[in-house]
Chain A
Amino acid sequence: MPTTTFPGQFDSLGKISDFVQGVSDAAGLNASEAYAVQLAVDEACTNIIEHAYGGEGVGAIECTCEPTSDGLCIVLRDHGRPFNPDAVPEPKIGAPLEEVKPRGLGVFFMRKMMDEVIFTFEQGENVLTMLKRKSG
């Protein structure tokens, strides 16, 4: 179960993606599934930096990846402010272009890319668990 800790800053995002790509390949995800996982993890880490920590260089992001019998489980932990996904509005996707707003896009992308997205706050940590199932 590889766990890696990254500095909570935007220039970590590329390195986090490379790490996630490696474990996705090892878990047997296809290219499309692996891209979806990278995208969801990127959105999650951006949210941690922007909202949980309130900026870059405040705290770390711990990323644990575990292959499961039918796919890949990713757990992201941070020590920032508790994140309440219910407080994030769902963007009006499909609405006329003029009405689309940026707020909530990240969480929306995560939910669309992954099969399960679970936010919890445990012992002073935000714990985000995401599952991606393999096709076939």
Chain B
Amino acid sequence: MEFQMTSYKRCEVLKTSGRIDSSTAPKLEEAIKNVTDRDIFKIVFDMSDVTFMSSAGWWILINTQKNCKRYNRGELILVGVAQNICESLELVGMGSYFKIFDTVVDAVGFF
């Protein structure tokens, strides 16, 4: 699993593709840690090319959200979440934990 990171003035954009399950979730955790270790807590996760997300992945994103929100105006924002993934997030009742934008431009503009 490959990650692309792009630094903007006010936030960092992280992008990956494919499945996030118990096999790949540790790599997502490590990629996010590489961002937060630099004291960056305004993070955009571009999920446009993510096709699957299990609870192992959601737990990492929830933990990241908790961590980010401890800091002034820090937040993890999701972008381009596939309809199936979005539906599953709503169905388990965790949709309220994340802002979801259609495009990276919108998400970066939020910060």
Q: Is the CB of B84 within 8 A of A32?
A: yes
List 29 interface pairs A-B (beta carbons < 8 Å), by A numbering. Answer: A10-B22, A10-B23, A13-B21, A13-B23, A14-B19, A17-B52, A31-B84, A32-B84, A32-B87, A35-B84, A35-B85, A35-B87, A36-B88, A46-B21, A46-B54, A46-B55, A46-B56, A50-B22, A93-B92, A97-B66, A97-B69, A100-B62, A100-B97, A102-B59, A105-B59, A108-B92, A109-B54, A112-B91, A113-B91
Q: Give A134 Cβ to nearest chain B Cβ, in Å.
A: 16
Q: Is the CB of B65 within 8 A of A43?
A: no
**Cα distance A73–B69 in the bound complex, in angstroms:** 41
Q: A17-B52, A42-B21, A94-B93 are in contact. Are A105 and B88 (CB under 8 A)?
A: no
Q: Write out the residue numbers on chain A whose beta carbons fall within 8 Å of the beta carbon of B52.
A: 17, 35, 38-39, 42
Q: Write out the residue numbers on chain B whose beta carbons fall within 8 Å of the beta carbon of A42.
A: 21-22, 52, 54
Q: Write out the residue numbers on chain A whose beta carbons fall within 8 Å of the beta carbon of B56.
A: 46
Q: Write out the residue numbers on chain B whose beta carbons fall within 8 Å of the beta carbon of A113.
A: 88, 91
Instruction: Classify the interface of chain A: helix, strand, loop or mixed.
Output: helix
Q: Write out the residue numbers on chain B whose beta carbons fall within 8 Å of the beta carbon of A36.
A: 88, 91
- A residues contacting the other copy or chain, number (CB 8 A): 28
Q: Write out the residue numbers on chain A whose beta carbons fall within 8 Å of the beta carbon of B59.
A: 102, 105
Chain A residues with a Cβ under 8 A of chain B: 10-11, 13-14, 17, 31-32, 35-36, 38-39, 42-43, 46, 49-50, 93-94, 97-98, 100, 102, 105-106, 108-109, 112-113
Instruction: Classify the interface of chain B: helix, strand, loop or mixed.
Output: helix
Interface string of B63-83 (1 = CB under 8 A from A): 001100100000000000001
The 8 closest A-B pairs by CB, nearest first: A10-B23, A35-B84, A105-B55, A93-B93, A102-B59, A46-B22, A13-B21, A10-B22
Q: Is the CB of B88 within 8 A of A97?
A: no
Given A11, A31, A39, A97, which contacts B62 in the complex, CB threshold below 8 Å?
A97
Q: Write out the residue numbers on chain B whose beta carbons fall within 8 Å of the beta carbon of A98.
A: 66
Q: A14-B19, A97-B69, A97-B97 are in contact. Are A43 and B55 (CB under 8 A)?
A: yes
